[in-house]
């Protein structure tokens, strides 16, 4: 497939690129905000409150701070190496170990699948609530979730040409739902339907101390803050990324962090924690119902939530399938996963494979009624990405030895150190993570490692070499029409 002609509008020190630089600071900000908003806050507010009681805002605040520190590391790397591929590129430049680069890339891919699987459950419960069905019917919810994932696969197979303007529209719809909750919260405040005294009450399950209750909840709340790291893949399509990325990424994380904290405060002030946690994937709908009874806003929010999580799932499955396709084209995964359809030119084998994994995850978690599907899969997404973020923070320090002539953003040295330690801390079992999150992560990474080793052995037998010489080409949307570019 031919690539677009280079954009000639450059600024001094800006690296040349084959891609067209179409994103200014405003579009970049909306892209970052839209990437962070989505399934997390719509589905997990109740689960976070179940861990800490009324102080549900605290885990979101801690997650915001950890994300912000890590964002500084991403800013140094994206302005130093303004290319797509993100964590895989930084890992390869820092360590140059093919297997390590592959596992980082595969981890990012798995996080996309677990995120989309979380969204499928949230979509199913919001659909049931929106159409007046029984959302306690486990069979119905599983069937709807699987049908939803099948629909995402069908769209993916057909080919989706996403544009920045489409992303803006989707972002505004997602944002409207969250702003609706905040506005209704203020309405309830003036109508004397809130109890802010609940927001300072820690009430953790079992005998957890406040510290470990917050860390357990933060390990889950972090799922709501991920997404900002995806924006680094737009570096080659952004005007003056060295200047624009630092301002817009920090602003985007700040905006979403403020929205999340406000929503968490209003949620527990309006609805008792026990009821909020029992709402599973639809806590914000319950908040709006209690805050403004009789107002049709509560009837609209399930559909806005469906739209938000559907968009999140589609973007994540697009990303996951393209990464899998790209790794197959690099000869680090079986070559059949790199097959492209003759008509639509979409990577059908990778799409079917990632969808099958998502199906397996939904069934695996749903088979035990004691499991919270959203908590298990959302927590696994955060677990996988926190591990990647810890590595990225280390990469910043390692790559300080690679000096470049061009100016770029430089994070204060203490921040990547704090980022690496804090991200590694939240990966560990001492945070109170559910065991099932580690089980899911282990199975996914074990599958990736087994496939990688099998492919390596096969390549050795046939005399073919792996080709992770340039991680920028992994999952490059230009490799197949209908990609994410």
190, burial (CB in 10 Å: exposed 0-12, middle 13-18, buried 19+): exposed
Give per-residue pLDDT as tens, 73-87.
999 998 888 776 678
Say how far apart CA 308 and CA 230 lie, in whole Å: 17
Residue 160: pLDDT band with limits 50, 70, 90: low
Residue keyed to tokens 């953003």:
409
Does 25-479 carry CATH code 1.20.1740.10?
yes
Q: Which carries the bigger pLDDT value, residue 275 or residue 210?
A: 275
Q: In angstroms, how far is the first alpha carbon of the chain from the final one?
A: 12
Give per-residue pLDDT as tens, 442-463.
999 999 999 888 888 887 887 6
φ, ψ (nearest 5 deg) of residue 238: -110, 135
Residues, the chain, total? 485
Does position 145 have pLDDT exceeding 70, yes or no? Answer: yes
Give per-residue pLDDT as tens, 181-203.
899 999 999 988 899 998 888 87
Residue 8: pLDDT band with limits 50, 70, 90: very low
Give per-residue pLDDT as tens, 330-372.
777 888 888 887 777 788 899 999 999 999 998 888 776 666 7
Say how far apart CA 296 and CA 20 lie, in whole Å: 44
pLDDT at residue 5, as a whole number: 44
Question: For the chain, what are the domain ranges?
Answer: 25-479
Give per-residue pLDDT as tens, 101-143.
889 989 998 998 998 898 898 888 888 888 888 777 888 889 9
Contact status, residue 332 vs residue 457, Cβ threshold 8 Å: no
Say how far apart CA 242 and CA 194 lie, in whole Å: 45
Return the number of other C-beta atoms located less than 10 Å from residue 447's C-beta. 14
At 295 the three-state DSSP class reads coil
Contact status, residue 447 vs residue 106, Cβ threshold 8 Å: no
């Amino acid at each position: 497939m031919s690539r677009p002609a280079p954009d000639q509008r450059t600024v001094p020190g800006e690296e040349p690129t084959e891609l067209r630089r179409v994103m200014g600071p405003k579009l970049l900000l909306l892209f970052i905000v839209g990437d962070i908003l989505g399934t997390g806050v719509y589905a997990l507010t109740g689960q976070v409150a179940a861990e800490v009681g009324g102080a549900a805002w605290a885990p979101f605040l801690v997650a915001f701070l950890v994300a912000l520190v890590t964002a500084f590391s991403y800013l140094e790397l994206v302005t130093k190496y303004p290319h797509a591929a993100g964590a895989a590129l930084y890992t390869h430049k820092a360590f140059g170990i093919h297997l390590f680069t592959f596992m980082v890339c595969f981890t990012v891919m798995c996080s996309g699948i677990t995120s989309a699987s979380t969204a499928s459950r949230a979509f199913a419960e919001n659909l049931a609530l929106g159409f007046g069905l029984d959302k306690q019917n486990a069979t119905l919810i599983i069937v709807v979730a699987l049908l939803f994932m099948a629909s995402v696969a069908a769209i993916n197979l057909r080919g989706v040409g996403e544009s920045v303007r489409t992303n803006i529209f989707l972002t505004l719809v997602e944002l409207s739902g969250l702003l609706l909750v905040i506005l209704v919260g203020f309405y309830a405040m003036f109508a004397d339907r809130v109890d802010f005294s609940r927001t300072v009450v820690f009430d953790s399950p079992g005998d957890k101390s406040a510290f470990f209750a917050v860390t357990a909840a933060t390990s889950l709340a972090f799922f709501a803050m991920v997404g900002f790291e995806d924006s680094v893949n737009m570096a080659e399509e952004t005007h003056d990324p060295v200047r624009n990325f630092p301002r817009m990424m920090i602003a985007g994380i700040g905006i979403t962090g403020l929205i999340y904290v406000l929503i968490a405060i209003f949620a527990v002030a309006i609805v008792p924690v026990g009821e909020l946690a029992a709402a599973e994937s639809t806590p914000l709908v319950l908040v709006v119902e209690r805050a403004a009874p009789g107002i049709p806003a509560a009837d609209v929010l399930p559909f806005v939530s469906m739209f938000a999580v559907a968009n999140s799932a589609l973007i994540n499955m697009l990303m996951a399938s393209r990464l899998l396709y790209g790794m197959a084209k690099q000869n680090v995964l079986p070559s059949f996963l790199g097959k492209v359809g003759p008509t639509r030119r979409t990577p059908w084998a990778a799409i079917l494979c990632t969808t099958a994994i998502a199906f397996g995850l939904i069934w695996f978690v749903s088979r035990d009624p004691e499991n919270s599907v959203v908590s298990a899969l959302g927590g696994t997404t955060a677990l996988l990405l926190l591990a990647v973020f810890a590595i990225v923070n280390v990469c910043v320090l390692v790559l300080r030895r690679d000096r470049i002539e061009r100016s770029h953003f430089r994070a204060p040295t203490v921040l990547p150190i704090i980022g690496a330690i804090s991200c590694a801390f939240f990966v560990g079992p001492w945070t109170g993570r559910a065991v099932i999150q580690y089980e899911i992560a282990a199975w996914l990474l074990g599958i990736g490692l087994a496939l990688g080793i099998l492919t390596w052995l096969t390549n050795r037998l046939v005399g073919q070499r792996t080709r992770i010489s340039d991680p920028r080409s992994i999952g490059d949307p230009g490799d197949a029409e209908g990609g994410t570019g």
